[in-house]
Amino acid sequence: MSFIEHSSLSALNDSRYDWTISVRAQAIWQGINKQTKEFRGLNVVFIDDENHRIHAFIAATLTDKFKKDLEEGALYEISNFSVKFYKGDETYRAVRSGKHIYFNTDTLCSKVVDTCLKIQPLSFDLYCLDDVYALKKDNRFLIDVVGVVDAKPTKIEYTKDGINGSIVKFTVTDGKSYLNVTFFNAFGDTLLEAFEQKKEEPVIIIIASGKISEWNDEVSLANYPATRFYLNNNHHCVKRIRTSLAESTFYQIDFIEEAEDEVPKFNVKELLSLKDEYIEVNL
- What pairs with residue 214 in β-bridges? 219
Element (H, E) at 201: none
Q: Which tens digits make up the pLDDT trace of 203-214?
A: 999 999 999 998
Question: Is pLDDT above 80 for 275?
Answer: no
pLDDT number for residue 255: 38
Q: What is the pLDDT of residue 273?
A: 52
Split at pLDDT 50, 70, 90, the class of 108 is very high
pLDDT at 270: 52
Residue 262 has pLDDT above 50, yes or no: no
Residue 163 has pLDDT above 80, yes or no: yes
Write down the pLDDT at residue 175: 93
Selected residue with higher pLDDT from 280 and 227:
227
SS3 141: strand
Sign of the C-alpha dihedral computed for residues 27, 210, 149 and 122 taken in this order: positive
Return d(Cα 87, Cα 59) in angstroms, integer.
Answer: 18
pLDDT grade for 171, boundaries at 50, 70 and 90: very high
Q: Is 117 left (phi over 0), alpha (psi -120 to 50) or beta?
A: beta
pLDDT of residue 217: 81
This prediction's pTM: 0.85
3-state secondary structure of 132: helix
Please list the alpha-helical segments (H only) found in 47-201.
63-66, 129-134, 185-197
Q: Which domains are assigned to the chain?
A: 9-112 (2.40.50.140), 129-246 (2.40.50.140)
Cα–Cα distances in angstroms (integers) from residue 74 to residues 43, 102, 205, in the given order = 15, 19, 22
pLDDT in tens, 48-71: 999 999 999 999 999 999 999 999
What pLDDT score was predicted for residue 63? Answer: 96
- DSSP codes of every residue in 89-120: ---SBSS--SEEEE--TT-EEEEES--SS---
Q: Give the pLDDT confidence score for residue 3 in this predicted structure.
A: 58
